[in-house]
Amino acid sequence: MIATKVYSRVGPGRNDIGASRGHIMDAVEASPPPLAGPDLSICTKCHGNDAVTPVEETLRALDTLVQQGKVRYVGCSNWQAWKIARAPRHLRAQEPGPI
């Protein structure tokens, strides 16, 4: 498995930290290319709770990566349980999606 972890500061810019769409997309694009192989699992994990970025933005960015085939699995860590529990409701309110 190859995993990309996003959230930590990686530079001085405004989108160089957090769980914003820009930071997530930049982090995945900056990751090394995956090795060849049909059984390779690629995971992106949001490794922190971002109090500034709306959870819907974070979830939509992760969903976009899955839809584009850039990652196969997504996850999170260091999030409050209530935020994880409400995530599907946030997504359904915007538009139905498979995430």
pLDDT digit string (tens) for 7-22? 888 889 887 888 899 9
pTM of the model: 0.77
The total of other beta-carbon atoms located within 10 Å of residue 65's CB is 20
Q: How far apart are CA 99 and CA 3, in angstroms?
A: 18
Q: Read off the pLDDT band of 99 (50, 70, 90).
A: low
Rounded to whole angstroms, the Cα distance separating 32 from 48 reads 22
**Is 90's pLDDT higher than 80?**
no
- Please report the pLDDT score of residue 21 as a whole number: 92
Q: Which amino acid is at 30?
A: A
Strand partners, 44: 4, 74
Structure confidence at residue 91 (pLDDT): 65
Q: What is the pLDDT of residue 79?
A: 86
Neighbours of 35 (CB within 10 A): 7
Tens of pLDDT, residues 19-74? 899 988 888 888 777 655 555 557 777 888 888 888 888 888 988 888 888 888 88
Token pair belonging to 50? 């971002």
CB 62 within 8 A of CB 97: no
Q: Which pLDDT does position 13 carry in this prediction? A: 84
Q: CA 66, CA 92: separation in Å to the nearest integer?
A: 17
